[in-house]
Amino acid sequence: MILRMLRLRTLVTGCLAIAALLFAADPAWGVPQVAEQEYRALPFISSRVLMWAVAELHLMFAAFVLAVPMFALVIEFIGYKTGDKRYDQLAYEFTKLLSVSFSFTATLGALLTFGLIVFYPTLAQYLVRIFSWTFLPYVLLFFLEAVFLYTYYYGWGKFSPRVHLFLGVMLNIVGTAIMFIANAWLTFMNTPAGVDELGNLTNLWEAINNYTWMPINIHRLIANVAFGGAIGAAYGAFKFLGAKTPEERAHYDWMGYVGIFVAICALLPLPFAGYWLGVEIYAYDQSLGITLMGGTFSWLFIIQAVLIGNLFLAANYYLWLSMGRIPGAERFRRFIKYLLAVITLCFIVWATPHSLVATVEEARAMGGSHHPILNVLGVMSAKNTAVNLLILTTYVSFLLYRRANKEATVSWAKTGNLVQFGIFAAVVIFVVFLGVYGYFVDAQTRIGLSQPQVLSVLFAMVSVTVIDIFLFRNAQSRGRVAWGKIPARSQYALFFLAITFTWLMGLMGYVRAGMRQHWHVYGVVRDTSVDAFTPTLGFAGMVVSAIVVVFFLLIAVVFFLSSLSGQKNWEPGQSKRWFKRRSETAATPLTQ
């Protein structure tokens, strides 16, 4: 019943949002009323903070709704190919989270649209003028997504597997297309193109395909999967901690593992996508680039570095704890300290700021605002090297986890291990060499060096995985994975990962929008409102934190509603029995 109500609400809010867009798009209806007032204010909260929160929450739910079908489809496909029903069940369980989340996404999207029209009428009107032609495909795709999503969810087990997989594919294609269109709007605000000096549209395709459109598309696509995986893992952890039977614990332990496996897989290429986005921003306008990396916002990148370092550390930590449930993993425990040493070192390099907080005395002792040693670690050559090594180290942790209960039986096992080690060693040396070489070349060449670094790391991961697959074909097993036999703190690591991912999204979302400073559309539409200033970093941090808290409260509602579907139907007298049981439990002496 609740789900049906939410579905109805989704459609209603969707229709209202579309009506609002059309209303604003038609100059005969929208303009005369809104053109009189450029901004509107709220009594207790600034309209900017309200729109900030609504946009961020909409983005978080949208990211989740786009990500879950991606890996649910892959899991379902694995189940279809292997015939293992567990995968099908797991994919369905992930999909259960979608229905309510989709409703929340649509509601928040409608709220965002209304808010833009009410509080920022001139800006809304301008964006509508530029992008009006993109609204029709957006609306159609939105309806198609609703159709495919609900058919995919409610049609589970009702269609042939191939038809159901096709629905999943279509859901993903439509969802991605929606995101691409919305990305065009927001990236245009940062790096506008296709408009003349007065801001009039000259070429719609150029406005869409602006400098940061494709980098944001790719970055969000990957980040969504990482985020969705982490939230899915948190759901597994939530259910694991409340599980009553060993079977439930085993199932939700497995679910948490699959979720975080998806998140880690997506996390690995994410820094590269982010770097590409940063390069494009700098290339579009050095002021934007310097605002991000050298100016006010550079401190937020230090926070980002700390969060990402913690993400990698927590992901490795979870893998190390997970090895406890695999017989044979004891062999690899001695490697943990070396992996941790590399992670810590890379984390330190990654988090070292270029601009230092120093007292006058400290600055004098350093001979200026740069420290001769830290200065070397504060630039991208060092940071790219560190993040590449972090990624490789995390991959090694996963490789050890994967091998934990396997004993290779192929005749060339020793050679295979040596080749794998050789590849790792060669790639580490190559990555470090390029990092050091970056200090001796011009900026353009240095930026270019990041590509061979990334490609060599990807080569190492792919080639070592391929060798590993053949190496452990027909491997001797040291025992089955004891799902469910994992300490509870591992589940808190999953919560930590989900919260950190979310906080990171909120923070970097603010950075991406905030770097425009006093522009709505950078260099085209100036912000002349009372809020046309960059808030302090502390205030921004508090707003982001508050948004994350609200998001998790809403996610708790999603978890609760999703778990209702598996519960027994209500029966007359059930409430009385429940209260009676409660009072009996309360009356039971503690000594028993």
Partner 1 sequence: MNLLVLLTIAAVLVVIQVGVTRWVNLNRLAWMAIWWAALWAAFSYGITPPLPQSIVVLFMAIITIALLAYLSADSEELAQARQTLVSFMVEKRYQVALIVVILTLPLLVALSVFSSLNQAPQPPASGRTIHPVPPASISFEGNTINLSTANNPYRELEHSDPEAFAAHVDNGRRVYFENCFYCHGDNMEGAGQFAHGYDPLPANFNDATTIAMLQESYLFWRIAKGAPGLPPESTPWSSAMPAWENFLTEEEIWDVILFLYEFTGFEPRAQGMPH
Q: 142 or 211, CB closer to partner 1?
A: 211
Q: Which of 81, 331, 489, 580 binds partner 1 (CB under 8 A)?
A: 489
The yes or no reply on residue 357 touching partner 1 (CB under 8 A) is yes
Out of 359, 585, 591, 592, point to the residue binding partner 1 (CB under 8 A): 359
Q: Tell which positions 48-87 bind partner 1, by CB under 8 A.
A: none
Which residue, 45 or 373, is less far from partner 1 as judged by CB?
373
**C-beta closer to partner 1: residue 345 or 554:** 345
375 lines the binding site for partner 1 (CB under 8 A): yes
Residue 327, interface with partner 1 (CB under 8 A)?
A: no
Q: Rounded to whole angstroms, what are the CA distances from 360 to 298, 367, 368, 510?
A: 21, 10, 9, 31
Count Cβ atoms below 10 Å from residue 526 Cβ, excluding itself: 12
Does residue 33 bind partner 1 (CB under 8 A)? no
Please, what is the angle between helix 85-119 and helix 213-241, to 10°? 120
Is residue 309 within the footprint of partner 1 (CB under 8 A)? yes
- Is 482 a binder of partner 1 (CB under 8 A)? no
Query: Total binding residues for partner 1 by CB under 8 A?
Result: 71
284 near partner 1, judged by CB under 8 A: yes
Rg from Cα positions in the chain: 26
Tokens representing 505 are: 């999204």
Give the one residue of 5, 19, 373, 466 binding partner 1; rule: CB under 8 A: 373
Listed residue (178, 74, 191, 188) closest to 136, CA to CA: 178
CB of 41 to partner 1, least distance (A): 25
Q: Please tell me whether residue 328 binds partner 1 under the rule CB under 8 A.
A: no
Residue 378 binds partner 1 (CB under 8 A): yes
- Do strands 406-407 and 519-521 pair parallel, antiparallel, or not at all (unpaired)? unpaired
127 vs 515 by CB, closer to partner 1: 515
Retrieve residue 336's tokens.
Answer: 């943990």
Minimum CB separation of residue 187 from partner 1 in Å reads 12
One residue of 22, 139, 241, 374 binding partner 1 per CB under 8 A: 374
Amino acid at site 573 = G
3-class SS of residue 484: coil
HEC profile of 148-194? HHHHHHHCCCCCCHHHHHHHHHHHHHHHHHHHHHHHHHHHHHHCCCC
Stretch that binds partner 1, among 49-57, 264-272, 369-377, 402-410 (CB under 8 A): 369-377
Shortest distance in whole angstroms from residue 433 CB to partner 1: 16
368 Ramachandran zone, left/alpha/beta (phi>0; psi -120 to 50): left
User: What residues between 207 and 236 interact with partner 1 by CB under 8 A?
Assistant: 211
Binder to partner 1 among 2, 487, 556, 560 (CB under 8 A)? 487
Residue 434 Cβ vs partner 1, minimum distance, rounded to whole Å: 15
> Near partner 1 by CB under 8 A, which window of 98-106, 254-262, 291-299, 583-591?
291-299
| Residue with smaller CB distance to partner 1, 112 or 303 | 303
Q: Is 199 a residue that touches partner 1 (CB under 8 A)? A: no
CA distance 334 to 347: 21
Residues 6 or more apart from 480 whose CB is under 8 A from it? 327, 405
321 vs 554, which CB is nearer to partner 1? 321
| Separation of alpha carbons 512 and 288, rounded Å | 10
Label residue 234 exposed, middle or buried (CB < 10 Å: 0-12, 13-18, 19+). Answer: buried
By CB under 8 A, name the one of 11, 42, 186, 283 that touches partner 1. 283
371 HSE (CA, 13 A, CB side)? 14
442, 570, 573, 587: which one binds partner 1 (CB under 8 A) = 442
Residue closer to partner 1 (CB basis): 224 or 322: 322
Q: Are 552 and 503 in contact (CB under 8 A)?
A: no
Judged by CB under 8 A, does residue 538 bind partner 1? no
Q: Using the minimum distance from each CB to partner 1, give the nearer residue, 317 or 472.
A: 317
Q: Determine how many CB atoms are found less than 10 A away from the CB of residue 357.
A: 8
16 scored as a contact of partner 1 (CB under 8 A): no
- Quick one: which of 176, 206, 180 has its CA closest to 191? 206
Two tokens, residue 338: 């070396």
Give, as ranges, the residues between 91 and 150 that touch partner 1 (CB under 8 A): none
Near partner 1 by CB under 8 A: residue from 147, 181, 379, 499: 379
Closest distance of CB 451 from partner 1, Å: 11
Taking the CA atoms of residue 185, residue 142, residue 224 and residue 399 in that order, the dihedral angle to the nearest 10 degrees is -140
Instruction: Name which position in 161, 194, 199, 295 contacts partner 1 (CB under 8 A).
Output: 295
Do the Cβ atoms of 235 and 559 come closer than 8 Å?
Answer: yes
For the bound state, the minimum distance from the C-beta of residue 299 to partner 1, rounded and expressed in Å, comes to 7
Which one among 337, 553, 587, 591 touches partner 1, defined by CB under 8 A? 337
- Both ends of the chain: CA-CA distance in Å? 42
Per rule CB under 8 A, is residue 453 in the interface with partner 1? no
206 binds partner 1 (CB under 8 A): no
Residue closest to 71 by CA, chosen among 141, 168, 154 = 168
Do residues 446 and 385 touch, judged by C-beta distance below 8 A? no
User: For 585-592, which contacts have Cβ atoms below 8 Å and span 24 or more sequence positions?
Assistant: none
Stretch that binds partner 1, among 7-15, 153-161, 173-181, 278-286 (CB under 8 A): 278-286
In whole angstroms, what is the distance from residue 310 CA to residue 350 CA? 11
Name the residue among 396, 384, 394, 390 with its Cα closest to residue 453: 384
Asked if 351 interacts with partner 1 (CB under 8 A), we say yes
